[in-house]
Amino acid sequence: MTTIGMRIRALRQEAGWTQQELGAPEFSKAYISQIESGRITPSLATLSVIASKLGTSLEALLPQGDQGHREQDLERLWRAAERLQEHGEHATAVDLVEQAARLSAASQDPKLRGEGHLRYAIALWESGHATQALDECEESIEAFGGAGDSQLLGRAYNVAGLIYRDLGEWAAARRYFLRALRLFPRRVVWHSRVLLNLSMLLARAGSFKEAADYSRRAIELTHSYGDGEQEAKSRIALSYTLIETGDPTRALQELDTADRLLRAAGKQDLVRLCRHNRVIAAHRLGLKGADEDLLAWLQEVEEIGHRQVASALYEELCRQAMREGRFRAAADYAAKGIGHARALHARPHEAQLLALQAEALLRDGDVAAGTVAFIQARDLFAMLRQGPALASTIRTLSTLAGKDSTLQMLLQVPPRDENGG
């Protein structure tokens, strides 16, 4: 630690800082002095903060003699990052995981390198930097491939699939999930997790029958493992496909089972997922009090800032208003859902809501606003490469356009590509 202290002192003096200036506001002058003199051993999290202030990296502060302890150092960094995440200090946590990735990159162990890249990829993805996360994920895949560990490689493929899913690149997401599935034996819990991810992806893409098949396979496996939490999640996923394929009664039965499993496992936070699908299923069935329950649930999720659930509820209200001929109300509901989807960068759902908004506005006679919504939906569907959704939207709006020359002309203009051309 004396070597580390000497390195910190040299860099501090080179920067022209006093010990007090280097420490502020996190550390006292006396604490920095003790580190520089080697009298105390700072944590890796502390060293990471000091390294950032000095404009260097954590590994640059660690002397070569400490490299043999790299795995223990990485574990400490990862644990510190997890604690920071739990306390809401997300940016600092990402910085720590980045430092760990740099530290692991110098390792001769491909598994350690892969783990460093994968954890950094997850941290970047969760903080909204999906494109950069994919680069780290590819580094992880390369490292794990070199290690010859199929299950670690499967984990990296699964994370890549999740990132591609959130980017709206559904074909790529499916490809990576299927690769992961082939690498995990049925007896491994990860196999059922990937099945569930595939099911949820396909449901979002509108392939409900295939999604239901994957959900049922996941239910069968998780039941055999005795994993009540994962079985419940799989039943919730199945309930969504049942709702969308016109079987809300069966969906409610699945949700009852899922609710019992979650309560038995003490997972009260996940009971909310059951409640959401239950509200939608009851609403589709037209059960007594279903409208009031849906609005109460919407108010609750708005108050807690659960944008994903709120956008789904606004879509449900929009579709109901469309069925009842309340087109202006439907357009307003779609607009609120679009706001949440954009905040989440949930582009596939945003495109779907824009198409609904365009249809509602055109049916209400507002051709100008409907045209704007249509152009946005059309370009977004094209960018996401959702050909069937794009074709369906154009067919619907072509019928509604009637003899309006402006909209008919716009329907003939090819949508913009990813580069805006």
Distance between CA 199 and CA 284 in Å, rounded? Answer: 22
Instruction: Count other C-beta atoms under 10 Å from residue 209's C-beta.
Output: 9
Asked if 377 contacts 358 with a C-beta cutoff of 8 angstroms, the reply is yes
Q: Identify which of 301, 254, 244, 257 has the alpha carbon closest to the alpha carbon of residue 276.
A: 301
Structure tokens at 403: 């003899």
Query: Degrees (nearest 5) of the Cα angle 165, 241, 200?
Result: 20
Question: What sign results for the dihedral spanned by CA atoms 64, 69, 71, 74?
Answer: negative
Asked if 148 contacts 167 with a C-beta cutoff of 8 angstroms, the reply is no
Q: What is the model's pLDDT at position 94? A: 84
Q: What is the model's pLDDT at position 63? A: 59
Q: What is the model's pLDDT at position 368? A: 82
Residue 389 Cα to chain centre, angstroms: 22
Asked if 46 contacts 58 with a C-beta cutoff of 8 angstroms, the reply is no
Distance between CA 238 and CA 273 in Å, rounded? Answer: 12
Q: What is the model's pLDDT at position 59? A: 66
Domain ranges across the chain: 184-261+273-296, 326-421
Distance between CA 164 and CA 169 in Å, rounded? Answer: 5
What residues have CB less than 8 Å from 307, skipping those under 6 apart? Answer: 340, 341, 343, 344
Phi and psi torsions of 184, nearest 5°: -100, 120
What CATH class does 184-261+273-296 carry?
Answer: mainly alpha
Q: Which one-letter DSSP state was computed for residue 43?
A: -
Q: What is the model's pLDDT at position 251? A: 94
Question: What sign results for the dihedral spanned by CA atoms 221, 222, 223, 227?
Answer: positive
Give this prediction's pTM: 0.70
Q: Which ranges constitute the DSSP H helices of 184-306?
A: 189-204, 208-225, 228-244, 248-264, 271-285, 290-304
Q: What is the mean pLDDT of each run of 10 residues along the chain (421 residues)?
A: 74 85 87 85 75 76 56 77 78 81 79 91 87 92 90 95 86 94 91 95 88 96 92 94 92 94 86 86 90 93 89 93 95 95 83 91 87 84 69 69 61 54 43
Q: What is the model's pLDDT at position 66? A: 46
Q: Side chain identity at 211, as an amino acid letter? A: A
Segment (H or E) for 377: helix 367-383
